[in-house]
């Protein structure tokens, strides 16, 4: 078991003492150094202050660093994220000693979350902790909520129009990564990332042509390509979860000799959280250029690259000009129910994108476009809070696994909130892992270790075999939730194994 790079203590569900100087406008800490081991009063927040020479300001009150007092809370989400727990609020009447329990954006209670009607919360019984599908347990970023409210107040519920979404993504990418290559003039709004992938694959391949994927990989990569009548060819990731560049080059050669072919690249990679380096992507681009294989890069998780790693878009690397990139605010701002995404073409793929049929633009939801655009334009600070929370959760999960599930292997990813757990050395599960190969491509499959934990621990994970070769021993855990739920899930899993042992 490997610990997370950003270790966090379980005391993140805080015991710190805080006073509120006035409702919703500020928080002052008092005696925190003596009462808290790691109570984050304002959470970690980083403010990006401009494109060039980006400055970040991190404020954190934790243990010894608790001297900072009275800062205004910058956004409504932070206020929503602060819990002042009356039951723990101090010794007696009149005492103003509310306790900040957890100011991460993931501080939603199970009761609040169970009111949700989305797939994550309704696919299993009410006694199950759902840590499967890629939804986050967060409230909406306030700029998104405001954009939606304003649109509804206007009765602005018609069809999507224009390039505002693409322009917002281009500005976000320039500000966040210093990359100016997302050109709205070479973009198309699409219903969502996967339907966008289907449309792009239709532009550059025909029935029976090869689509290369790199398993273990997001199951719909199989399902959508096969439903489209394409032949999926697998080039598994290496043992250290990186692209197998020589094998990709070989496969491109073989596939291109038969006819048109495409590579569906996941950048960053779901489920391992691998962030492909500029050199790796350039190597893919060189092989693609040499063979004529067309690259369709799904970059939906790009804004969720965690501290310690740097994102590179496929369009940013030499040779990437013939590629396509699919982007969306859906994962990073938790908007999958507000359908919209954007396809960008490299300079040498623009003529192909221009062949996208008009009806594709009918698919995205106008409210989705407005929400995603607002997220990208005004949700940067909210995203920074989410990233800081995910970084803490990544560390917390490492600690929890080490303490309670020591035979589970996990190499923490550099991006996303998805943990790819390997149960191959868990003796109690030896009968369960490896089963379920026919479920390849089925994101809702309940097989292997995930099926066992659902039955015995009432924790729902995504089934590893659905992700293709390399997934037989694994299950995927979504850690975009509160520290309390994450701890409870690991505890349930540990207890279930103890009962089975």
Ligand X SMILES: Cc1ncc(COP(=O)(O)O)c(C=O)c1O
Name the site residues for ligand X (rule: CB under 6 A): 134, 192-194, 218, 266, 270, 298, 300, 328, 330, 336, 341
Give the integer Cα–Cα distance in Å for 295 and 310: 21
Q: Which is nearer to ligand X, 35 or 365 (CB)?
A: 365
CB of 323 to ligand X, least distance (A): 16
Give the CA distances from residue 72 to residues 97, 98, 386, in Å, rounded to whole numbers and listed in that order: 19, 17, 19
CB of 439 to ligand X, least distance (A): 17
CB of 299 to ligand X, least distance (A): 9
Give the CA distances from residue 370 to residues 156, 205, 360, 376, in Å, rounded to whole numbers and listed in that order: 10, 32, 18, 10
CB of 428 to ligand X, least distance (A): 30
Q: What count of Cα atoms within 13 Å lies in the side-chain half-sphere of residue 296?
A: 28
CB of 134 to ligand X, least distance (A): 3
Q: Which is nearer to ligand X, 35 or 478 (CB)?
A: 478
Q: Which is nearer to ligand X, 194 or 237 (CB)?
A: 194
CB of 478 to ligand X, least distance (A): 9
Q: Which is nearer to ligand X, 139 or 443 (CB)?
A: 443
From start to end of 415-490, where are the E strands?
418-422, 459-460, 462-463, 474-478
**Pair of tokens at residue 151:** 């649109």
CB of 206 to ligand X, least distance (A): 23
Q: Which is nearer to ligand X, 1 or 133 (CB)?
A: 133
Q: Which is nearer to ligand X, 103 or 327 (CB)?
A: 327
Q: Which is nearer to ligand X, 120 or 456 (CB)?
A: 120
Give the integer Cα–Cα distance in Å for 132 and 447: 13
Give the integer Cα–Cα distance in Å for 6 and 8: 6
Q: Which is nearer to ligand X, 142 or 328 (CB)?
A: 328
Please, are residues 423 and 473 in contact by the beta-carbon 8 Å criterion? yes
**Pair of tokens at residue 99:** 């306790």
Q: Which is nearer to ligand X, 251 or 270 (CB)?
A: 270
CB of 241 to ligand X, least distance (A): 15
CB of 1 to ligand X, least distance (A): 25
- Classify residue 56 as exposed, middle or buried by CB count within 10 Å of its CB (0-12, 13-18, 19+): exposed
Q: Which is nearer to ligand X, 193 or 459 (CB)?
A: 193
Helix axes 380-404 and 164-177, enclosed angle (nearest 10): 60
DSSP sequence for 52-92? TT----EE---GGGTT---EE--SHHHHHH--B-GGGS-SS
H or E stretch including 430? none
CB of 164 to ligand X, least distance (A): 18
Q: Which is nearer to ligand X, 462 or 494 (CB)?
A: 462
DSSP sequence for 270-324? TTT-----HHHHHHHHHHHHHHTPEEEEE-TTGGGBPTT-----GGGSTTGGG-E
CB of 409 to ligand X, least distance (A): 22
Residue 361 Cα to chain centre, angstroms: 25
H or E stretch including 373? helix 366-378
Q: Are strands 187-190 and 58-59 parallel, antiparallel or unpaired?
A: unpaired
DSSP sequence for 237-260? --TTS---HHHHHHHHHHHHHHS-
Please, are residues 278 and 317 in contact by the beta-carbon 8 Å criterion? yes
Give the integer Cα–Cα distance in Å for 469 and 472: 7
Q: Which is nearer to ligand X, 38 or 187 (CB)?
A: 187
Vertex 353 angle, CA 175 and 347, to 5°: 55
CB of 354 to ligand X, least distance (A): 22
């Amino acid at each position: 078991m490997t610990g997370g790079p950003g270790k966090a203590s379980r005391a993140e569900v805080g015991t710190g003492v805080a006073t509120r100087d006035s409702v919703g406008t500020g928080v002052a800490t008092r005696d925190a150094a003596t009462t808290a081991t790691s109570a984050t009063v304002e959470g970690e927040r980083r403010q990006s202050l401009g494109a060039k020479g980006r400055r970040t300001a991190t404020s954190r009150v934790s243990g010894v660093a608790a001297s900072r007092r009275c800062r205004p809370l910058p956004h409504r989400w932070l206020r929503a994220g602060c819990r002042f727990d009356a039951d723990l609020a101090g010794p007696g009447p009149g005492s103003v000693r509310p306790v900040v329990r957890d100011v991460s954006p993931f501080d939603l209670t199970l009761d609040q979350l169970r009111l949700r009607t989305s797939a994550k919360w309704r696919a299993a019984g009410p006694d199950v902790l759902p840590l499967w599908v890629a939804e986050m347990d967060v409230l909406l970023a306030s700029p998104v909520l405001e954009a939606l409210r304003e649109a509804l107040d206007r009765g602005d519920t018609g069809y999507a129009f224009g390039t505002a979404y693409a322009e917002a993504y281009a500005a976000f990418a320039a500000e966040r990564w210093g990359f100016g290559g997302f050109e709205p003039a070479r973009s198309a709004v699409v219903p969502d990332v996967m339907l966008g992938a289907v449309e792009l694959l239709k532009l550059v391949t025909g029935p029976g042509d090869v689509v290369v994927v790199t398993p273990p990989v997001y199951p719909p990569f199989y399902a959508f390509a096969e439903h489209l009548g394409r032949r999926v060819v697998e080039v598994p990731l290496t043992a250290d979860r990186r692209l197998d560049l020589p094998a990709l080059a070989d496969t491109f050669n073989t596939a291109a000799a038969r006819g048109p072919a495409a590579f569906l690249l996941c950048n960053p990679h779901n489920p391992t959280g691998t962030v492909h380096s500029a050199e790796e992507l350039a190597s893919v681009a060189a092989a693609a250029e040499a063979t004529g294989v067309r690259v369709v890069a799904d970059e939906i998780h790009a804004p969720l690259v965690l501290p310690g790693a740097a994102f590179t878009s496929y369009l940013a690397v030499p040779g990437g000009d013939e590629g396509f990139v699919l982007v969306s605010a859906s994962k990073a701002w938790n908007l999958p129910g507000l359908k919209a995404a954007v396809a960008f073409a490299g300079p040498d793929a623009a003529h192909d994108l221009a062949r996208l049929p008009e009806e594709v633009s009918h698919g995205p939801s106008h409210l989705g476009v407005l929400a995603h655009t607002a997220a990208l334009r005004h949700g940067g600070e909210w995203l920074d809070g989410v990233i800081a929370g995910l970084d803490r959760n990544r560390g917390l999960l490492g600690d929890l696994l080490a303490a309670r599930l020591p035979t589970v292997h996990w190499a923490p990813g550099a991006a996303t909130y998805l943990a790819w757990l390997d149960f191959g050395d868990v003796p109690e599960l030896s009968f369960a892992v490896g089963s379920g190969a026919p479920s390849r491509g089925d994101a809702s499959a309940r097989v292997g270790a995930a099926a066992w934990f659902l039955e015995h621990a009432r924790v729902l994970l995504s089934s590893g075999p659905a992700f293709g070769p390399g997934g037989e021993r694994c299950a995927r855990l979504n850690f975009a939730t509160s520290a309390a739920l994450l701890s409870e899930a690991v505890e349930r899993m540990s207890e279930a194994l103890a009962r089975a042992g």
